[in-house]
Amino acid sequence: MVCKNADVASKVESQLKLVIRPMYLNPSIHGASIVATILKDRDLFNEWTIELKEMADRIISMRLQLFESLHAKD
């Protein structure tokens, strides 16, 4: 942010922190409503389950690649 001087910048920063903090500390209801929609719809739930498995497999694969790369350096 650009302010007239350091004192004003400090005051603006203090006010911004008061506004911004609740946005990050309290999750919005929007995410919960998306989850509820997916869990209630059989097709969406099945699609989510497939995507979840793909992501879990990808993480496992990446961990294995990291392990092998680190092991190869020894």
Same domain? 25 vs 60: no
Tell whether 20 and 52 lie within a shared domain.
no
Model confidence at 65, pLDDT cuts 50, 70, 90, reads: very high
Q: What is the DSSP string of 19-41?
A: HHHHHHHS--HHHHHHHHHHHH-
Q: Tell me the residue range of the domain where 28 lies.
A: 1-40
pLDDT digits (tens, 9 = 90+) for 3-60: 999 999 999 999 999 998 887 777 777 888 999 999 999 999 999 999 999 999 999 9
Domains in the chain: how many in total? 2
Query: pTM score > 0.85 for this model?
Result: no
Cβ contacts of 39 within 8 Å, gap of 6 or more: 45
Output helix, strand, coil percentages for the chain, rounded to the nearest 5: 85, 0, 15
Q: Which distant-in-sequence residues (6+ apart) come within 8 Å of 1 by Cβ?
A: 9, 12, 13, 16
Q: Tell whether 34 and 6 lie within a shared domain.
A: yes
